[in-house]
Amino acid sequence: MQHHTLSCCGGVRASLPPPTLSFRWSKIKREGGRRLPRCARIAAQLELKPPPYSLSSLEPHMSRETLEYHWGRHHRAHVASLNNLIAGTDLDGMGLDEIVVVSYNKGNPLPLFVHAAQVWNHDFFWQSIKPGGGGRPSGRLMELIERDFGSFDRMLEEFKRAALTQFGSGWAWLVYKANRLDVGNAVNPCPSEKDNKLVVLKSPNAVNPIVWDYSPLLAIDVWEHAYYLDYENRRADYVSIFLEKLVSWEVVSDRLDVAIERAAERAREDETRRQEDDAAVTHSEAVEMYLDSDTDDSEAE
Amino acid sequence: MAMALPLAYASSVVHPFEAGRLSFSTKATKHKKQIYQFRNVTKVLAYYGLTNPPYKLDALEPYMSRRTLELHWGNIHRGYSDSLNKQLANSPLYGCTMEELIKTTFNNGNPLPEYNNAAEVWNHDFFWESMQPNGGRLPWGGVLDQIEKDFGSFSNFRDEFVHSAMMLFGSGWVWLVLKTNERRLSIVRTSNALCPLVWGDIPIISLDMWEHAYYLDYKDDVSKYVNNFMDHLISWHSATARMVRAEAFVNLGEPKIPVA
């Protein structure tokens, strides 16, 4: 059995290191000793990625027990369910980002959406925090925060408010929003960096801003399982500690760079497409137009 | 159950209608005198008190720990109640029973801001009363008959209830309701704060599936929580009382037409 580890598709689209896919060959038809079969059923299995730190390293802000349950049981269960549900379907073999967007189905989600999205969300969440995190961001991230929220503290206030007012289960996000119309021929006549903003939003249950074509930068899990063991019902304390002691602003900055690059690339694509469209119009033959005839006589005579 | 009590504050507008109302005022005697003289009037506000569960907080051990109840009732339920009262201080809603308040604020699917708090206060009251120490096991009499009629057997009902609870994603509740239109018992799963009262159905038993209800005791083992609820906590006494009341609103009888 061959094992390959491949990065998943959509380089600039992914805002986090992609989950590793291990390919398992099944039902291989071998011909003439060739390793690559003519038709093989490839079952791509998404793996449960461990957080980039040990489970006890976030103490005392997030206990080892929480991580054991949250990562070890909740996140793992979603990965298992997702693998079960995509096996043998079209979604098998797609990258996780794509699975999430496709299964969201523009607001009419397939049953596997919750699992796909929760796997994505939790991967993103573990990457967003680190031992010894917190502090303040710097560089372009700080500039954009100050531009779009007024000040870093105001952004934190808004983020906390989103996290606290998310009723029921869900997530609060800081996203980079490249404002574009979701129409095929949408053209922004004067595209500029200023159209793209940082925004705080909240989403229920498993929903995730990539389905709205935003670029998430930071997420906090406000499902109760994320904080109940450590903070009981005190969500406000959890959110404050998360922001003061756990957030990895370096990762957020990196994601911002990726997001800006992605937005710029799409703006360039739009621009080339627009120019091509314009060229197509001017070079095409004159459109036949039906004009009124000079006489007023009816043709039915 | 929570009841509306008018709370009077002095203001300057005179309403003869309000003049005769009882006021529960904790202010100074001089203020009281003013009210009894009906000179200043009352801006009457709705107020919903937090009721206690009908058992001590450690009575449901070991299936639901004391700490869970302390937090769930003492902090979370109380929090909803306080938030509701704060919201109602600036709201024109007055004079509703809790059930009416829920239906009104649900606003046919376009809920007003008070809905979540009102519904959660009611839902939790209902939930505490749906449980009892030494509960679980089987219902009896009319409730059992109705369950057997509508689900085939008690174990079918139990399986369906547990299954419904396991299928719920996110926060929500699982209910045994008496559907008024279909005139039968049914199991319903709702998200967040949604309550079957808004559809005119009559809830008989509920189970809180928000994670705060079970996480401290069971962590992620939802199936154990639900099974323990069914086997040891569910209060068929309450269910019977609620069915009796429900039958005043829903005709479950069938006419006994004699065969000639």
CATH homologous superfamily, domain B141-250: Iron/manganese superoxide dismutase, C-terminal domain (3.55.40.20)
The Cα A128–Cα A242 span in angstroms is 10
Tell me how close the Cα of B216 comes to any Cα of chain A, in angstroms.
Answer: 6
User: How confident is the prediction for chain A on average, in pLDDT?
Assistant: 83
- Amino acid at site B60: L
Tell me how close the Cα of B171 comes to any Cα of chain A, in angstroms.
Answer: 5
Q: Which of B191, B215, B216 sits opposite A168 (nearest CB)?
A: B191
Q: CB distance from B227 to chain A under 8 Å?
A: no
| Local confidence band at B26 (pLDDT 50, 70, 90 cut-offs) | very low
Interface residues from chain A to B (CB-CB < 8 Å):
69, 73-74, 77, 114, 167-170, 204-206, 223-225, 228-229, 232-233
pLDDT of the residue at B151: 96
Q: Does B96 have pLDDT greater than 90?
A: no
> Where do the CATH 3.55.40.20 domains begin and end in chain B?
141-250
Does the annotation place B208 within a ligand binding site? yes
Structure tokens, A31: 């011909």
Residue B88: C-alpha distances to residues A5, B2, B114 (Å): 58, 15, 8
φ/ψ (deg, to 5) at A213: 70, 25
B66-130 carries CATH number 3.40.50.2300 = no
Does the annotation place B212 within a ligand binding site? yes
Q: How many CB pairs under 8 A join A and B?
A: 52
Mutation site for B-interface testing, chosen from A205, A207, A208 by largest number of B Cβ within 10 Å: A205
Q: Quick check: helix, strand or coil at residue B159?
A: helix
The Cα B175–Cα B165 span in angstroms is 9
> Where do the CATH 1.10.287.990 domains begin and end in chain B?
66-130
Does the annotation place B124 within a ligand binding site? yes
| Local confidence band at A279 (pLDDT 50, 70, 90 cut-offs) | confident
Q: Which neighbouring-strand residues pair with B41?
A: B11
Of A245, A224, A222, residue with least CA distance to A233: A224
Angle between helices A113-128 and A76-86 (to 10 degrees): 140
- Amino acid at site A50: P
Residues of B in contact with A82 (CB under 8 A): none
Q: Does A28 have pLDDT greater than 60?
A: no
The Cα B185–Cα B147 span in angstroms is 7
Of B192, B193, B80, residue with least CA distance to B88: B80
Q: CB distance from B220 to chain A under 8 Å?
A: yes
- B193 compared with A290, residue with greater pLDDT: B193
pLDDT of the residue at A12: 39
pLDDT of the residue at A272: 85
Structure tokens, B162: 């547990």
- A29 compared with A156, residue with greater pLDDT: A156
The Cα B252–Cα B35 span in angstroms is 50
CB A26 within 8 A of CB A93: no
pLDDT of the residue at A286: 61
Residues of A in contact with B74 (CB under 8 A): none
A204 with B169: Cβ contact below 8 A: no
Does the annotation place B72 within a ligand binding site? yes
Mean pLDDT over A74-92 rounds to: 92
